[in-house]
Protein backbone atom coordinates (compact mmCIF):
# COMPACT_ATOMS: atom_id res chain seq x y z
CA UNK A 1 0.00 0.00 0.00
CA UNK A 2 1.31 3.42 -0.91
CA UNK A 3 2.25 5.59 2.07
CA UNK A 4 0.47 8.86 2.86
CA UNK A 5 1.69 12.13 1.39
CA UNK A 6 3.39 13.32 4.60
CA UNK A 7 5.41 10.11 4.94
CA UNK A 8 6.45 10.20 1.32
CA UNK A 9 7.59 13.83 1.44
CA UNK A 10 9.51 13.52 4.68
CA UNK A 11 11.16 10.33 3.46
CA UNK A 12 12.15 11.99 0.20
CA UNK A 13 13.77 14.99 1.91
CA UNK A 14 15.51 12.83 4.53
CA UNK A 15 17.00 10.43 1.97
CA UNK A 16 18.02 13.24 -0.37
CA UNK A 17 19.74 15.14 2.44
CA UNK A 18 21.52 12.04 3.73
CA UNK A 19 22.65 10.96 0.27
CA UNK A 20 23.84 14.49 -0.52
CA UNK A 21 26.32 14.20 2.34
CA UNK A 22 27.81 11.06 0.81
CA UNK A 23 27.99 12.63 -2.66
CA UNK A 24 29.48 15.86 -1.36
CA UNK A 25 32.30 14.13 0.44
CA UNK A 26 33.33 12.49 -2.82
CA UNK A 27 33.92 15.85 -4.53
CA UNK A 28 34.60 18.36 -1.75
CA UNK A 29 37.42 16.35 -0.21
CA UNK A 30 39.32 16.50 -3.52
CA UNK A 31 39.28 20.31 -3.20
CA UNK A 32 40.62 20.06 0.36
CA UNK A 33 43.43 17.55 -0.31
CA UNK A 34 46.25 20.12 -0.68
CA UNK A 35 45.36 21.70 2.68
CA UNK A 36 45.14 18.29 4.32
CA UNK A 37 48.56 17.38 2.96
CA UNK A 38 50.08 20.62 4.26
CA UNK A 39 48.57 20.15 7.71
CA UNK A 40 49.14 16.41 8.23
CA UNK A 41 52.08 15.71 5.89
CA UNK A 42 50.19 13.09 3.91
CA UNK A 43 52.44 12.97 0.86
CA UNK A 44 51.13 11.90 -2.53
CA UNK A 45 50.36 8.33 -1.40
CA UNK A 46 48.48 9.64 1.63
CA UNK A 47 46.38 11.97 -0.51
CA UNK A 48 45.49 9.08 -2.80
CA UNK A 49 44.41 6.94 0.13
CA UNK A 50 42.24 9.70 1.57
CA UNK A 51 40.25 9.37 -1.66
CA UNK A 52 40.62 5.60 -2.16
CA UNK A 53 39.66 4.60 1.40
CA UNK A 54 36.23 6.14 0.81
CA UNK A 55 35.80 4.94 -2.78
CA UNK A 56 36.82 1.34 -2.06
CA UNK A 57 34.53 0.84 0.93
CA UNK A 58 31.64 2.33 -1.04
CA UNK A 59 32.07 0.02 -4.01
CA UNK A 60 32.64 -3.07 -1.88
CA UNK A 61 29.72 -2.71 0.52
CA UNK A 62 26.70 -1.80 -1.60
CA UNK A 63 25.41 -5.38 -1.79
CA UNK A 64 25.94 -6.04 1.91
CA UNK A 65 24.31 -2.72 2.80
CA UNK A 66 21.20 -3.60 0.82
CA UNK A 67 20.95 -7.00 2.49
CA UNK A 68 21.31 -5.44 5.95
CA UNK A 69 18.55 -2.98 5.08
CA UNK A 70 16.23 -5.81 4.08
CA UNK A 71 17.01 -7.64 7.32
CA UNK A 72 16.69 -4.87 9.92
CA UNK A 73 14.32 -2.52 8.07
CA UNK A 74 15.22 0.04 5.43
CA UNK A 75 14.46 3.13 7.46
CA UNK A 76 16.31 1.82 10.50
CA UNK A 77 19.32 0.94 8.34
CA UNK A 78 19.24 4.38 6.68
CA UNK A 79 19.30 6.13 10.04
CA UNK A 80 22.13 3.86 11.17
CA UNK A 81 24.09 4.69 8.02
CA UNK A 82 23.69 8.42 8.61
CA UNK A 83 24.76 8.04 12.24
CA UNK A 84 27.86 6.12 11.16
CA UNK A 85 28.65 8.69 8.47
CA UNK A 86 28.33 11.54 10.99
CA UNK A 87 30.53 9.76 13.55
CA UNK A 88 33.15 9.07 10.88
CA UNK A 89 32.99 12.73 9.80
CA UNK A 90 33.79 13.74 13.38
CA UNK A 91 36.80 11.38 13.36
CA UNK A 92 38.01 13.02 10.13
CA UNK A 93 37.45 16.52 11.47
CA UNK A 94 39.59 15.97 14.57
CA UNK A 95 42.20 13.73 12.91
CA UNK A 96 45.70 14.43 14.18
CA UNK A 97 47.49 12.05 11.81
CA UNK A 98 47.14 10.91 8.23
CA UNK A 99 46.31 7.38 9.38
CA UNK A 100 43.45 8.63 11.54
CA UNK A 101 42.08 10.67 8.64
CA UNK A 102 42.25 7.69 6.26
CA UNK A 103 40.54 5.45 8.83
CA UNK A 104 37.79 8.02 9.21
CA UNK A 105 37.34 8.16 5.45
CA UNK A 106 37.00 4.36 5.31
CA UNK A 107 34.29 4.52 8.00
CA UNK A 108 32.59 7.27 6.02
CA UNK A 109 32.53 4.90 3.07
CA UNK A 110 30.78 2.24 5.17
CA UNK A 111 28.13 4.71 6.31
CA UNK A 112 27.84 6.16 2.81
CA UNK A 113 27.24 2.73 1.27
CA UNK A 114 24.48 1.98 3.77
CA UNK A 115 22.69 5.30 3.53
CA UNK A 116 22.77 5.66 -0.28
CA UNK A 117 21.65 2.08 -0.92
CA UNK A 118 18.82 2.19 1.59
CA UNK A 119 17.80 5.68 0.43
CA UNK A 120 16.79 4.42 -3.00
CA UNK A 121 15.27 1.21 -1.65
CA UNK A 122 13.23 3.19 0.90
CA UNK A 123 11.90 5.47 -1.84
CA UNK A 124 10.97 2.41 -3.90
CA UNK A 125 8.94 0.99 -1.00
CA UNK A 126 7.36 4.19 0.31
CA UNK A 127 6.47 5.73 -3.08
CA UNK A 128 5.49 2.38 -4.67
CA UNK A 129 3.85 3.10 -8.06
CA UNK A 130 5.39 6.57 -8.18
CA UNK A 131 8.93 5.36 -7.54
CA UNK A 132 10.18 6.84 -10.82
CA UNK A 133 8.93 10.27 -9.86
CA UNK A 134 10.42 9.92 -6.36
CA UNK A 135 13.81 8.91 -7.72
CA UNK A 136 13.66 11.83 -10.15
CA UNK A 137 12.95 14.24 -7.30
CA UNK A 138 15.71 12.63 -5.23
CA UNK A 139 18.10 13.06 -8.16
CA UNK A 140 17.05 16.69 -8.52
CA UNK A 141 17.63 17.46 -4.84
CA UNK A 142 20.96 15.66 -4.59
CA UNK A 143 22.13 17.39 -7.78
CA UNK A 144 21.78 20.76 -6.06
CA UNK A 145 24.36 19.58 -3.53
CA UNK A 146 26.58 18.19 -6.27
CA UNK A 147 26.58 21.52 -8.12
CA UNK A 148 27.12 23.71 -5.08
CA UNK A 149 29.43 21.39 -3.15
CA UNK A 150 32.83 22.02 -4.76
CA UNK A 151 32.56 25.84 -4.72
CA UNK A 152 31.28 25.77 -1.12
CA UNK A 153 34.08 23.41 -0.15
CA UNK A 154 36.65 25.73 -1.68
CA UNK A 155 35.30 28.69 0.29
CA UNK A 156 35.23 26.71 3.56
CA UNK A 157 38.78 25.40 3.09
CA UNK A 158 40.17 28.82 2.19
CA UNK A 159 38.25 30.90 4.74
CA UNK A 160 38.23 28.54 7.74
CA UNK A 161 39.87 25.10 7.59
CA UNK A 162 39.60 21.79 5.77
CA UNK A 163 38.34 20.31 9.04
CA UNK A 164 35.08 22.22 8.67
CA UNK A 165 34.34 20.28 5.49
CA UNK A 166 33.66 17.40 7.90
CA UNK A 167 32.25 19.38 10.84
CA UNK A 168 29.52 20.79 8.60
CA UNK A 169 28.24 17.26 7.95
CA UNK A 170 27.03 16.96 11.54
CA UNK A 171 24.03 19.35 11.57
CA UNK A 172 22.86 18.12 8.17
CA UNK A 173 23.13 14.51 9.33
CA UNK A 174 21.11 15.32 12.46
CA UNK A 175 18.41 16.94 10.31
CA UNK A 176 18.27 13.91 7.98
CA UNK A 177 17.91 11.56 10.97
CA UNK A 178 15.13 13.65 12.51
CA UNK A 179 13.18 13.81 9.25
CA UNK A 180 13.56 10.07 8.67
CA UNK A 181 12.29 9.24 12.16
CA UNK A 182 9.38 11.70 12.06
CA UNK A 183 8.38 10.43 8.62
CA UNK A 184 8.15 6.78 9.62
CA UNK A 185 5.04 5.16 8.16
CA UNK A 186 2.66 2.98 10.13
CA UNK A 187 3.64 -0.69 10.00
CA UNK A 188 6.62 0.08 7.80
CA UNK A 189 9.37 -1.49 9.90
CA UNK A 190 8.72 -5.20 9.53
CA UNK A 191 12.36 -6.33 9.83
CA UNK A 192 13.56 -9.83 9.23
CA UNK A 193 12.98 -9.57 5.49
CA UNK A 194 16.00 -11.68 4.57
CA UNK A 195 18.68 -13.82 6.15
CA UNK A 196 22.10 -12.22 6.19
CA UNK A 197 24.58 -14.35 4.26
CA UNK A 198 27.86 -13.63 6.08
CA UNK A 199 30.07 -15.75 3.80
CA UNK A 200 28.55 -14.24 0.68
CA UNK A 201 28.90 -10.76 2.15
CA UNK A 202 32.61 -11.27 2.84
CA UNK A 203 33.29 -12.81 -0.58
CA UNK A 204 31.46 -10.05 -2.46
CA UNK A 205 33.05 -7.25 -0.43
CA UNK A 206 36.61 -8.58 -0.77
CA UNK A 207 36.06 -9.39 -4.43
CA UNK A 208 34.70 -5.96 -5.33
CA UNK A 209 37.30 -4.08 -3.27
CA UNK A 210 40.15 -6.11 -4.77
CA UNK A 211 38.96 -5.70 -8.33
CA UNK A 212 38.20 -2.00 -7.84
CA UNK A 213 41.64 -1.33 -6.37
CA UNK A 214 43.34 -3.15 -9.25
CA UNK A 215 41.41 -1.24 -11.91
CA UNK A 216 41.84 2.17 -10.28
CA UNK A 217 45.53 1.78 -9.50
CA UNK A 218 46.71 -0.18 -12.58
CA UNK A 219 47.91 2.87 -14.50
CA UNK A 220 49.83 4.50 -11.65
CA UNK A 221 51.24 1.38 -9.95
CA UNK A 222 51.64 -0.94 -12.94
CA UNK A 223 50.04 -4.28 -13.72
CA UNK A 224 52.57 -6.33 -11.76
CA UNK A 225 51.91 -4.48 -8.51
CA UNK A 226 48.10 -4.65 -8.74
CA UNK A 227 47.97 -8.22 -10.06
CA UNK A 228 47.61 -9.86 -6.61
CA UNK A 229 44.63 -7.64 -5.79
CA UNK A 230 43.07 -8.43 -9.16
CA UNK A 231 43.55 -12.18 -8.72
CA UNK A 232 42.10 -12.10 -5.19
CA UNK A 233 39.19 -9.98 -6.39
CA UNK A 234 38.30 -12.23 -9.33
CA UNK A 235 38.73 -15.39 -7.23
CA UNK A 236 36.41 -14.07 -4.52
CA UNK A 237 33.78 -13.02 -7.05
CA UNK A 238 33.89 -16.47 -8.69
CA UNK A 239 33.61 -18.06 -5.24
CA UNK A 240 30.71 -15.71 -4.48
CA UNK A 241 28.87 -16.93 -7.59
CA UNK A 242 29.45 -20.59 -6.67
CA UNK A 243 28.42 -19.97 -3.07
CA UNK A 244 25.25 -18.15 -4.15
CA UNK A 245 24.24 -21.12 -6.31
CA UNK A 246 24.46 -23.64 -3.43
CA UNK A 247 23.54 -21.80 -0.20
CA UNK A 248 19.96 -21.71 1.06
CA UNK A 249 19.67 -17.96 1.73
CA UNK A 250 22.33 -16.16 -0.34
CA UNK A 251 23.17 -12.47 -0.22
CA UNK A 252 21.55 -12.02 -3.64
CA UNK A 253 18.54 -14.37 -3.72
CA UNK A 254 18.05 -16.18 -7.05
CA UNK A 255 14.38 -15.23 -6.99
CA UNK A 256 15.42 -11.58 -7.29
CA UNK A 257 17.52 -12.31 -10.37
CA UNK A 258 14.66 -14.30 -11.91
CA UNK A 259 12.26 -11.36 -11.72
CA UNK A 260 11.48 -9.91 -15.17
CA UNK A 261 13.67 -6.94 -15.99
CA UNK A 262 16.16 -7.10 -13.09
CA UNK A 263 19.13 -8.51 -15.00
CA UNK A 264 18.29 -6.45 -18.09
CA UNK A 265 18.09 -3.20 -16.12
CA UNK A 266 21.42 -3.84 -14.42
CA UNK A 267 23.09 -4.80 -17.70
CA UNK A 268 21.91 -1.48 -19.16
CA UNK A 269 23.11 0.29 -16.00
CA UNK A 270 26.63 -1.12 -16.36
CA UNK A 271 26.97 0.05 -19.97
CA UNK A 272 25.30 3.46 -19.63
CA UNK A 273 27.15 4.37 -16.43
CA UNK A 274 30.38 3.26 -18.06
CA UNK A 275 29.79 5.97 -20.66
CA UNK A 276 28.78 8.59 -18.08
CA UNK A 277 31.74 8.00 -15.76
CA UNK A 278 34.26 8.23 -18.59
CA UNK A 279 32.74 11.42 -19.94
CA UNK A 280 32.64 13.14 -16.57
CA UNK A 281 36.28 12.23 -15.86
CA UNK A 282 38.00 12.83 -19.20
CA UNK A 283 36.15 15.98 -20.34
CA UNK A 284 37.44 18.40 -17.64
CA UNK A 285 40.96 17.01 -18.11
CA UNK A 286 40.83 17.55 -21.87
CA UNK A 287 39.36 21.05 -21.54
CA UNK A 288 42.43 22.06 -19.53
CA UNK A 289 44.59 20.38 -22.17
CA UNK A 290 43.16 22.69 -24.87
CA UNK A 291 43.71 25.81 -22.75
CA UNK A 292 40.77 26.40 -20.43
CA UNK A 293 41.51 27.18 -16.79
CA UNK A 294 40.70 24.63 -14.07
CA UNK A 295 37.89 26.86 -12.80
CA UNK A 296 36.29 27.19 -16.22
CA UNK A 297 36.76 23.48 -16.92
CA UNK A 298 35.03 22.61 -13.66
CA UNK A 299 31.97 24.54 -14.85
CA UNK A 300 31.40 21.78 -17.41
CA UNK A 301 29.55 19.96 -14.62
CA UNK A 302 27.04 22.77 -14.19
CA UNK A 303 24.73 22.22 -17.21
CA UNK A 304 24.33 18.48 -16.53
CA UNK A 305 23.66 19.24 -12.87
CA UNK A 306 21.05 21.88 -13.71
CA UNK A 307 19.40 19.51 -16.19
CA UNK A 308 19.08 16.89 -13.45
CA UNK A 309 17.55 19.46 -11.11
CA UNK A 310 15.00 20.65 -13.67
CA UNK A 311 14.25 17.58 -15.78
CA UNK A 312 14.94 14.41 -13.78
CA UNK A 313 11.54 14.45 -11.99
CA UNK A 314 9.75 14.85 -15.34
CA UNK A 315 11.51 11.89 -16.88
CA UNK A 316 10.84 9.92 -13.70
CA UNK A 317 7.10 10.51 -14.18
CA UNK A 318 7.37 9.38 -17.79
CA UNK A 319 8.98 6.16 -16.60
CA UNK A 320 6.12 5.65 -14.09
CA UNK A 321 3.45 6.13 -16.74
CA UNK A 322 4.94 4.64 -19.89
CA UNK A 323 7.82 2.51 -18.66
CA UNK A 324 11.56 3.18 -18.60
CA UNK A 325 12.48 1.80 -22.03
CA UNK A 326 11.84 4.88 -24.15
CA UNK A 327 13.50 7.53 -21.94
CA UNK A 328 16.57 5.34 -21.36
CA UNK A 329 16.99 4.31 -24.99
CA UNK A 330 16.42 7.83 -26.30
CA UNK A 331 18.46 9.47 -23.52
CA UNK A 332 21.49 7.22 -24.07
CA UNK A 333 21.39 7.95 -27.82
CA UNK A 334 21.24 11.68 -27.07
CA UNK A 335 24.24 11.29 -24.75
CA UNK A 336 26.20 9.74 -27.63
CA UNK A 337 25.30 12.69 -29.86
CA UNK A 338 26.42 15.16 -27.21
CA UNK A 339 29.74 13.35 -26.83
CA UNK A 340 30.41 13.26 -30.59
CA UNK A 341 29.81 17.01 -30.82
CA UNK A 342 33.15 17.38 -29.02
CA UNK A 343 35.13 15.90 -31.92
CA UNK A 344 35.88 19.33 -33.50
CA UNK A 345 37.35 20.63 -30.20
CA UNK A 346 41.11 20.89 -30.69
CA UNK A 347 41.96 24.24 -29.12
CA UNK A 348 40.48 26.92 -26.87
CA UNK A 349 38.63 28.72 -29.66
CA UNK A 350 36.91 25.57 -30.93
CA UNK A 351 36.09 24.61 -27.34
CA UNK A 352 34.04 27.78 -26.92
CA UNK A 353 32.24 27.10 -30.21
CA UNK A 354 31.33 23.46 -29.62
CA UNK A 355 31.36 22.91 -25.86
CA UNK A 356 28.10 24.76 -25.00
CA UNK A 357 25.97 22.84 -27.50
CA UNK A 358 27.66 19.55 -26.58
CA UNK A 359 26.98 20.10 -22.88
CA UNK A 360 23.37 21.06 -23.56
CA UNK A 361 22.70 17.91 -25.58
CA UNK A 362 24.58 15.70 -23.11
CA UNK A 363 22.68 17.24 -20.17
CA UNK A 364 19.27 16.46 -21.68
CA UNK A 365 20.30 12.87 -22.34
CA UNK A 366 21.67 12.51 -18.83
CA UNK A 367 18.46 13.78 -17.26
CA UNK A 368 16.43 11.36 -19.40
CA UNK A 369 18.45 8.36 -18.25
CA UNK A 370 19.25 8.65 -14.54
CA UNK A 371 15.87 8.32 -12.80
CA UNK A 372 14.30 5.81 -15.24
CA UNK A 373 17.30 3.47 -15.17
CA UNK A 374 17.22 3.32 -11.37
CA UNK A 375 13.45 2.85 -11.36
CA UNK A 376 13.81 0.02 -13.90
CA UNK A 377 16.31 -1.76 -11.64
CA UNK A 378 14.27 -1.35 -8.45
CA UNK A 379 10.70 -1.46 -9.73
CA UNK A 380 10.31 -5.23 -10.21
CA UNK A 381 11.73 -6.05 -6.75
CA UNK A 382 9.27 -6.85 -3.94
CA UNK A 383 9.53 -4.66 -0.81
CA UNK A 384 11.37 -7.37 1.14
CA UNK A 385 14.19 -7.37 -1.44
CA UNK A 386 14.27 -3.65 -2.25
CA UNK A 387 17.55 -3.18 -0.36
CA UNK A 388 19.39 -5.95 -2.20
CA UNK A 389 17.99 -4.69 -5.52
CA UNK A 390 19.29 -1.21 -4.75
CA UNK A 391 22.68 -2.56 -3.69
CA UNK A 392 22.93 -4.59 -6.87
CA UNK A 393 22.14 -1.55 -9.01
CA UNK A 394 24.58 0.69 -7.12
CA UNK A 395 27.28 -1.94 -7.60
CA UNK A 396 26.51 -2.23 -11.31
CA UNK A 397 26.83 1.52 -11.83
CA UNK A 398 30.07 1.72 -9.86
CA UNK A 399 31.71 -1.27 -11.57
CA UNK A 400 30.69 -0.03 -15.02
CA UNK A 401 32.29 3.33 -14.37
CA UNK A 402 35.51 1.93 -12.96
CA UNK A 403 36.00 -0.53 -15.83
CA UNK A 404 35.34 2.08 -18.51
CA UNK A 405 37.67 4.67 -16.97
CA UNK A 406 40.44 2.08 -16.74
CA UNK A 407 39.86 0.73 -20.26
CA UNK A 408 39.48 4.10 -21.99
CA UNK A 409 42.48 5.46 -20.10
CA UNK A 410 44.53 2.57 -21.46
CA UNK A 411 43.11 3.22 -24.93
CA UNK A 412 44.07 6.88 -24.73
CA UNK A 413 47.62 5.96 -23.77
CA UNK A 414 47.90 3.43 -26.60
CA UNK A 415 46.57 5.82 -29.25
CA UNK A 416 48.81 8.60 -27.95
CA UNK A 417 51.89 6.39 -28.28
CA UNK A 418 50.84 5.06 -31.70
CA UNK A 419 50.39 8.63 -32.95
CA UNK A 420 53.95 9.49 -31.96
CA UNK A 421 53.29 11.08 -28.60
CA UNK A 422 56.26 11.31 -26.25
CA UNK A 423 55.50 10.84 -22.56
CA UNK A 424 53.05 8.97 -20.35
CA UNK A 425 50.33 11.64 -20.07
CA UNK A 426 48.31 12.17 -23.26
CA UNK A 427 46.48 15.26 -21.95
CA UNK A 428 49.35 17.24 -20.43
CA UNK A 429 48.64 20.96 -21.12
CA UNK A 430 52.38 21.58 -21.67
CA UNK A 431 52.50 19.34 -24.75
CA UNK A 432 53.19 21.04 -28.08
CA UNK A 433 53.60 20.22 -31.76
CA UNK A 434 53.27 16.57 -32.69
CA UNK A 435 52.78 15.52 -29.07
CA UNK A 436 49.79 17.82 -28.81
CA UNK A 437 48.30 16.43 -32.02
CA UNK A 438 48.76 12.93 -30.61
CA UNK A 439 46.88 14.04 -27.48
CA UNK A 440 43.97 15.25 -29.61
CA UNK A 441 43.88 11.88 -31.39
CA UNK A 442 43.87 10.11 -28.04
CA UNK A 443 40.86 12.14 -26.93
CA UNK A 444 39.06 11.38 -30.19
CA UNK A 445 39.53 7.68 -29.42
CA UNK A 446 38.10 8.22 -25.93
CA UNK A 447 35.09 10.06 -27.38
CA UNK A 448 34.47 7.23 -29.85
CA UNK A 449 34.61 4.72 -26.99
CA UNK A 450 32.18 6.73 -24.85
CA UNK A 451 29.75 7.19 -27.74
CA UNK A 452 29.91 3.47 -28.54
CA UNK A 453 29.12 2.61 -24.92
CA UNK A 454 26.16 5.02 -24.89
CA UNK A 455 24.77 3.67 -28.17
CA UNK A 456 25.20 0.12 -26.89
CA UNK A 457 23.26 1.07 -23.77
CA UNK A 458 20.54 2.59 -25.93
CA UNK A 459 20.26 -0.57 -28.02
CA UNK A 460 20.19 -2.78 -24.92
CA UNK A 461 17.46 -0.65 -23.34
CA UNK A 462 15.36 -0.75 -26.50
CA UNK A 463 15.68 -4.51 -26.87
CA UNK A 464 15.74 -5.78 -23.28
CA UNK A 465 13.58 -3.48 -21.17
CA UNK A 466 9.81 -3.83 -21.00
CA UNK A 467 7.40 -1.12 -21.93
CA UNK A 468 6.29 -0.55 -18.38
CA UNK A 469 7.59 -1.20 -14.88
CA UNK A 470 5.54 -4.00 -13.33
CA UNK A 471 5.40 -2.11 -10.02
CA UNK A 472 3.56 0.74 -11.69
CA UNK A 473 0.67 -1.41 -12.92
Which CATH number, 3.40.50.300, 1.20.1250.20, 3.30.910.20, 3.10.580.10, labels domain 253-473? Answer: 1.20.1250.20
The C-alpha atoms of residue 172 and residue 170 are separated, in whole angstroms, by 5
Per-residue pLDDT of the chain (473 residues; tens, 9 = 90+): 455 788 888 888 999 888 888 877 776 776 677 788 788 887 766 776 887 788 888 878 888 888 888 888 888 899 999 999 999 999 999 998 988 999 999 999 999 989 988 888 888 888 877 777 788 788 888 777 766 666 676 677 777 888 988 998 899 999 999 998 887 765 455 454 455 677 888 888 888 888 878 877 776 677 788 889 889 989 998 998 888 888 877 878 888 888 888 899 999 999 999 999 888 878 888 888 888 876 677 677 778 878 888 888 888 888 888 888 999 999 999 999 999 999 999 888 998 999 999 999 999 999 999 888 888 888 888 877 777 888 888 888 888 888 888 788 888 888 888 888 776 678 777 788 888 888 889 999 999 999 999 999 999 999 988 755 444 43
Domains 1-182 and 253-473 share a fold: yes
Query: Which run of H or of E encompasses 322?
Result: helix 302-322
The C-alpha atoms of residue 309 and residue 366 are separated, in whole angstroms, by 11
Write down the architecture of domain 1-182 according to CATH. Up-down Bundle (1.20)
For 406-427, write each residue's pLDDT tens digit: 788 888 888 888 888 776 678 7
Cα–Cα distance list, 67 to 114, 121, 159, 194, 426 (Å): 10, 11, 42, 7, 42
What is the dihedral sign for C-alpha 257, 261, 267, 273? negative
93 and 167 in contact (C-beta within 8 Å)?
yes
Domain ranges for the chain, please list them: 1-182, 197-250, 253-473
For 125-163, write each residue's pLDDT tens digit: 888 777 777 887 888 887 777 666 666 766 777 778 889
Amino acid sequence: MQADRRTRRLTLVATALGSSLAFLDTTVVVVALPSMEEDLGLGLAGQQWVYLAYALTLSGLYLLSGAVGDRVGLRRAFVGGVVMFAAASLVCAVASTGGMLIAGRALQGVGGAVLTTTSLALLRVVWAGEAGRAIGLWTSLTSVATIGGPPLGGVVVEAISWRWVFFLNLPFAATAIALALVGRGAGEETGGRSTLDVVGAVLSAVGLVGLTFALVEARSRGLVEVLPAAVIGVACLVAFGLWTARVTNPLVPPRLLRLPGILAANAVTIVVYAALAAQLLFLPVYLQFVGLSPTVASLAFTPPGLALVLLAPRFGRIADRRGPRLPIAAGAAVIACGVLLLLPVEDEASAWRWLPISLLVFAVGLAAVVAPITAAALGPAPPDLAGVASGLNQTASRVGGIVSVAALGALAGAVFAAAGGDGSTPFDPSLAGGDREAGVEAFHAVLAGIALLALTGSALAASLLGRRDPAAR
